[in-house]
Structure 1
């Protein structure tokens, strides 16, 4: 569908066009107006959104188990996570932009102050 046809379709009130087609046309128009360099990010956002709205509801038992895992993590998993976090921070220090690192560190420190992690 050409951009002109798509544009004229989106100007038709939604009562005259099937609601799904109207929304799809509006979405396509927005995508076409997105600069090419941002399309990979947009694709990722759309995929994450779709996955989040199509997920099956979690049973209460699974919720309790997940919360228990967060509150009382397995010692080995906790150690592995700590090592991975240390490695990530080391890589950021070596590769990152100083201003970005400072900003990220401030955010991490603020979150750690608000939500302390016990080791």
Structure 2
């Protein structure tokens, strides 16, 4: 597995090195956004977001949440 990770790291770095300097700030932004989108939020952050959504009325009835789920 470590060999695969090293291979991917090398390939990513190769692509970065091929990127024109003027585009590096945008590439950095893309990488950060990607990393943040796949990272799990802390329990506190999740609670705060859920609480904010509830206060803003961004809720669904429980019956709607169960639609399409087989309980059998």
Instruction: State the Cα distance separating 1:70 from its structure 2 match.
Output: 6.5
The one of 23, 27, 32 aligned to 1:42? 27
Instruction: State the Cα distance separating 1:52 from its structure 2 match.
Output: 1.2
Unaligned runs of 5+ in 2: 59-72
CA RMSD of aligned residues (A): 2.8
Match of 2:5 in 1: 20
Cα gap change, 1:68/1:20 in structure 2, threshold over 3 Å: closer, same or farther? same
Match of 1:69 in 2: 56
Q: Distance in 1 between matches of 2:15 and 2:39?
A: 23
What secondary structure does 1:18 align onto?
helix
Runs of 4+ off more than 3 Å? none
Unaligned runs of 5+ in 1: 1-14, 72-119
Q: Which structure would you say has the larger Rg?
A: 1
TM-score by length of 1: 0.37
Cα gap change, 1:69/1:34 in structure 2, threshold over 3 Å: closer, same or farther? same
TM-score by length of 2: 0.58
What secondary structure does 2:56 align onto?
helix
Give the helix-richer structure, 1 or 2: 1
Q: Relative contact order (C-alpha < 8 Å, sep 6+): which is higher?
A: 1
